[in-house]
Amino acid sequence: MLDSIRNIFSIPDLRRRIIFTLLLLAVYRIGAQIPNPGISADALAEFWQSQKGTILGFVDLFSGRNMSRMTIFALGIMPYISASIILQLLQVVWPYLERLSKEGELGRQKITQYTRYGTIIICVIQAFGISIFLEALKSPGGAPIVPNPGIGFKFLTILTLTTGTVFIMWLGEQISERGIGNGISLIIFAGIVVDLPRGMQSIFSSLRSGDMTPLRLIFLVVLMIVVIAVIVFVERGQRRIPVSYAKRVVGRKIYGGQSTHLPLRVNTGGVIPIIFAASVITIPSTLAQLVKVPFFQAIAQQFGLGMPLYNLLYIASIIFFTYFYVSIIFNPADVADNLRKYGGFIPGIRPGKNTADFIDGVLSRITLVGAIYLAAVAILPEFLMTGFKVHTLPVIGSFLEANLPRWFTQGLNVNFYFGGTSILIVVGVAMDTLQQIEAQLVMRHYDGFMRRGRLKGRR
């Protein structure tokens, strides 16, 4: 391992890329300490203290705790991700964008530019909504979070938060272009990882105070290791469809006549389906916060963490959006057409429509496995925090509450960043970054980062 690290820093270009990436991530963390003007920090801290273990606490994790402190980076990178997803969806239904996506580098640059414009529009809308929400909000003690509300505060909030997200977007693009790894993913990675030491400190404090037993701590450590192992295993999982190429004689040269494979990832959609599902499932709770109507309040109670309706719809949404997103980013008909153009075929399957149907069938089966895996990973945080509140079920709720173990119905009362979606992001980004470092080392005839193992993409 030490030799591998030494090899990394012995290559000038790779060393320059890694240092550049670390410096920009440090700039991001410095900006995350600058508060948004016009907000009472004490009242805001008191409010967020009361939101631990709720949906808002879950959303706060993906902003790197910037939302709870209401810094200039409070919106995080999510508006950019939302704009990217919207543009991907529009490519399916808007012929103009579909043509741009097939025009090579120039088309991708135009789509990227449209994504930036979309990010600004989403930022303005979200920042305006946040300013209204903050003005109407009070801490549990009754202190207003915005001492001087008005048009000036709204305008300043929109300007500050929009500028902060645009700056983060620029940082991510610079890291992707001149650094190592995917810049947007690394920014989300940094926002999650920076809070892990605080979580470990909280757990050890609970251990010293007696709120957590050593046996439960050992169980959590083992559970975290198992979750990481499962994530690594599934993220590297592929279904390899054999592909053969017919021999072609062009002039005096013979092309083709070789066999390869078409890799289909088990988790083709990545973490995007979870983000989709989380956005949809938080709408009732958000409406209940904004509209103080008893009907919305009653609905919002059924969408609290651990509630059966919430868990059922969350799992169903993840499975639906997994299939939906995979159907957008992967077109079996295009793959089959490209294979036919270059003389490729799947042994035993006729080219054309039969090949497309075969690929679609294989993709549907492995996508189901990936969707169940994502749902299990996403539901783990809620289980660790609150358990499954089966007592709210009609008819059988009281029976289940009385007979099921307490840890199942009330959870383990621990913070969720030791498992679930956050570790899925952390492990996935770490694997992708190490894969790029591995490729750089192998390209320059060095041993890979891991001599005994093989990272995804290593030859």
Q: State both tokens at 103.
A: 């025009």
* Helix or strand run (H / E) with residue 50: none
Is residue 71's pLDDT more than 80? yes
Helices (H), 210-352: 214-235, 272-281, 283-290, 294-302, 308-329, 332-341
Which two three-digit tokens encode residue 4? 């591998």
Instruction: Please state whether the predicted TM-score (pTM) of the whole model is above 0.85.
Output: no
> How confident is the model at residue 291, as a pLDDT?
62
Angle at 421 between CA 85 and CA 216, to 5 degrees: 170
| Domain layout of the chain by residue ranges | 1-191, 220-419
The length of the chain is 459
Tell me how far apart the alpha carbons of residues 290 and 133 are, in angstroms, rounded to a whole number. Answer: 7
Q: Which residue has the tokens 């080219």?
A: 351
CA distance 65 to 21: 21
Evaluate whether 1-191 and 220-419 have a shared fold: yes
Q: Domain 1-191 falls in which CATH fold?
A: Preprotein translocase SecY subunit (1.10.3370)
Instruction: Count the Cβ atoms, other than its own, within 10 Å of residue 235.
Output: 19
Chain segment 272-325, per-residue pLDDT in tens = 788 778 777 766 666 665 566 676 667 667 766 667 778 888 889 889 989 988
pLDDT band at 367 (very low <50, low <70, confident <90, very high): very high
pLDDT digits (tens, 9 = 90+) for 368-404: 999 999 888 888 777 777 777 777 777 777 777 777 7
Structural contact between residues 154 and 131, judged by C-beta atoms closer than 8 angstroms? yes
User: 220-419: which CATH topology?
Assistant: Preprotein translocase SecY subunit (1.10.3370)
**What is the Cα–Cα distance from 88 to 276, expressed in whole angstroms?**
13
